[in-house]
Every structure is written in structure tokens, then in C-alpha cells.
Amino acid sequence: MLKKIVLAVIGITVLLIIISTIILFRRESPIDPVAYTAPKKPEMTGVLEPNDLLQNAELLAQGKVKGPGEIAVDEQGRIYFGTPAGTISRLLSNGVIETFTETGGRPLGMKFDQKGNLIVADANKGLLSVNPQGSIMILATSADSIPFKLTNGLDIAKNGTIYFTDSSDKYSLKDYLLDMFEARPHGRFMRYDPNTSTVTVLMRELNFANGVALSGNEDFVLVSETYQYRIHRYWLAGPQAGKSEIFIDNLPGFPDNISYNGKDKFWLALFTIRSGVLDTLHKYPILKSLLTRLPASMWPEHKRYGFVASIDERGNIIETLQDPDGNHLYDVTSAQEYAGYLYLGSPESDRIGRLKVGQ
């Protein structure tokens, strides 16, 4: 009797596997993946050796904010951040949080220009300018007749020129992981000229173009390419003007927003450390195709990890700030230095980090 029960269970299990396989192969994959061979991830030694320095950060508005992906601070010390609800909020010095404006999209990168306007890369709405009263003006929603699908990072030159990215011209923010699995270059890096209101594409075919940062004397600008673990340098002046090169390659995690501290280095936020499973999976398009036919809840989850790196203007990592357990700060996508403090944001957390870094 027991033997019959065991055989029945095995038979049902095999049948379920066959049915599931048939369903998977019949269901159309949402992506058109290609193989990608990632460089061997660097050893976490030397300057990359794990530490707990991010755990020294003060936690602002813990439990009172949701998804503050990037931070901007105005001259009054008010802290601005976007939310998944499509608002731009600001945290006052007394701890009060108020709504500054509503874009109706998903505000990501943001910086103040010389006139006090908050320039915003809204994932859904495009490149925006918000005046001090909170009124919104749309600056751009497309380039070369191709609409933006995921406007993301930006920086602003002293003359008002805006350098920004559209991470993907195929996938919107809610499908950013599909862009990763597909491994095709859908991202662009662009320039907005405020004098002519025109957009020029400077770099194409980037695998998730992300953070942007101008150098101290604005002779070059950096652009994060998240899904290939590297940062490009695009020259704005000198004999290489108009050309690009790899600034730093084979990073230990996924590079997100990058900022210049106004003195001697860049702060790079890495969303999480790299996954050996993902790097292996990238070699096999058929497996990626099958995986993305499953509900997203069944996909491998990334490790909760806090990671920020400081990089000099020659492309050398000179310091890392980490939280390996991810209990204090994690999934950091923004590291901005203001008045001796590093402000840290994450689209996945309920807090803003503030760490003293100046002397």
C-alpha cells in the first residue's frame, strides 16, 4: 500500500513538473535576452574590505519617509527628496516633513540650479524644472523623437547646462529588472541646453545609464552604467572633447548615482554588491527567458547591503563606507555631500542617512 502511495506521489510530482514546463514554454517571455559575460568580480580586500562605517550615520525621519531615492539640500538646509507617490517632500530642521510639490510621476535625480530652481529627473514625466514656489515646468520628454522611459540621474553645469540620463528607452521604472535580465543597451546620456531648450544625445547604447556627475572644473562628466558595473568619462573640454572612455571598471556592486563633493572626490552609491548567481545567469539567455516568465516574487532577491565609495578624479577608489548587514542603511542610491555631511538616500528604505565627513 505504501509503495502505491509513494508511486502516486512521484507520478503527481512528475506530472506537475511537466505541466509547469509546458506552461513556461507556452507563455511568451517579456524580454529578448542576450548573453553577457561579466568580468570576474573583485575580491573584497584592501579598500573594498567590508567595514561598518555606514552604521555611524544618523538616521533622519526614520519610519516617516518612504523611498527617498536621491537627496538635495537647499541654502536653508532643508532636505528634499522624491517619493513613490509622485511627490517631492522636504524635511525641515525641526523634523517636520512637508510636501513641496507633486509631479504625478516618480522623482529620482534632483539638483538645484544657480537660480534656485530644483531640476528633477522624473522616471515617468521626464526632465522637469520646479521653481521655489513649487510650480513645475517640463523641460524635455524625448530626444531624437524617442520618448524617455526612465529619466534618472543628472548634474548641472555652472552655465545652466543639464547633463542627464534616460536609463532605458524600452522599459519603465517598474520593469527595471527586465532591462537587467535582457542585457541589451537601451540607455542614453544627454545634454539639455537651457538657451535653446534642445536635447542632444551624447552617448547611446548604455546598459542602464544612471548617475551623472561633473568634475570640479567641468572638463569631463561621469556616467554610471549600472548593469555593466562601470563608469564612463565623457570629455567636455581639451583634446578629447566629445569622446568617452571607461573611467572605472569591474566595480564590486551596482553603481547608481554619483556626485562631486566640490573639492577633491566623487561619492558613488552602489545599490548592492554583485551576485555570482546573476553573473552566471547572464551567460544563458534561455534561462533568463524562462525566469522572467515566472512571477517576479519567484526571482532571486538581491542582498540587503549598504555601500558607498569615494573615488578620486583619476578613477581610483580611495575609501568605502559599508553596512554589510544592511540593518542601518541599505540599497543606497544617492550620496550627496553638503556642508560637511554626507546625505544618503534609498528608494527601498524609510529613512535618510546623514554622516559627518568634513573636518
Model confidence over 72-112: pLDDT tens digits?
A: 999 999 999 999 999 999 999 999 999 999 999 999 999 99
Q: CA-CA distance, 163 to 141, in Å (whole number)?
A: 14
Are 353 and 319 in contact, with CB atoms under 8 Å apart? no
Which of 184-193, 222-231, 293-302, 346-355 has the least mean pLDDT? 293-302
Are 98 and 90 in contact, with CB atoms under 8 Å apart? yes
Q: Read off the pLDDT band of 27 (50, 70, 90).
A: confident
Report how far apart, in Å, the C-alpha atoms of 217 and of each of 169, 174, 190, 299, 317 are. 31, 36, 19, 44, 20
Residue 332 is predicted with a pLDDT of 98
pLDDT mean over 237-256: 98
Q: Read off the pLDDT band of 50 (50, 70, 90).
A: very high
Residue 18 is predicted with a pLDDT of 41
DSSP state of 56: G
Residue 359 is predicted with a pLDDT of 61
Are 116 and 133 in contact, with CB atoms under 8 Å apart? no
pLDDT mean over 167-183: 98
According to DSSP, the β-strands at 341-345 and 334-338 are: antiparallel
Residue 133 is predicted with a pLDDT of 97
Q: Read off the pLDDT band of 8 (50, 70, 90).
A: very low
Tell whether the model's pLDDT for residue 22 goes beyond 70.
no
Residue 285, H or E segment: helix 285-291
pLDDT mean over 256-271: 97
Rounded to two decimals, what is the model's pTM?
0.93
Q: Choose among 56, 55, 86: nearest CA to 69.
A: 86
According to DSSP, the β-strands at 79-82 and 71-73 are: antiparallel
Q: CA-CA distance, 355 to 317, in Å (whole number)?
A: 19
Residue 278 is predicted with a pLDDT of 95
pLDDT mean over 25-44: 91
Residue 331 is predicted with a pLDDT of 98
Burial class (CB in 10 A: 0-12, 13-18, 19+), 167: buried
Residue 6 is predicted with a pLDDT of 45
Map out the domains of the chain with their CATH numbers.
Answer: 31-78+144-356 (2.120.10.30)
Neighbours of 159 (CB within 10 A): 10
DSSP state of 13: H
Residue 17 is predicted with a pLDDT of 44
Neighbours of 280 (CB within 10 A): 11
Tell whether the model's pLDDT for residue 20 goes beyond 90.
no
Calculate the CA 144 to chain-centre distance: 24
pLDDT mean over 167-178: 98
Q: Read off the pLDDT band of 9 (50, 70, 90).
A: very low
Residue 328 is predicted with a pLDDT of 98
DSSP state of 61: S
Q: CA-CA distance, 221 to 236, in Å (whole number)?
A: 7
Task: Classify each residue of 67-89 as buried b or exposed e, where b means 16 or more C-beta atoms within 10 Å of its C-beta.
Answer: bbbbbbbeeeeebbbbbeebbbb
Residue 154 is predicted with a pLDDT of 98
What is the rounded average pLDDT for all residues in the chain? 93
Which of 4-8, 141-145, 278-282 has the least mean pLDDT? 4-8
Residue 26 is predicted with a pLDDT of 58
Q: CA-CA distance, 47 to 320, in Å (whole number)?
A: 7
Q: CA-CA distance, 322 to 193, in Å (whole number)?
A: 37
Tell whether the model's pLDDT for residue 1 goes beyond 70.
no
Q: 88 is written with which cell numbers? A: 517631492
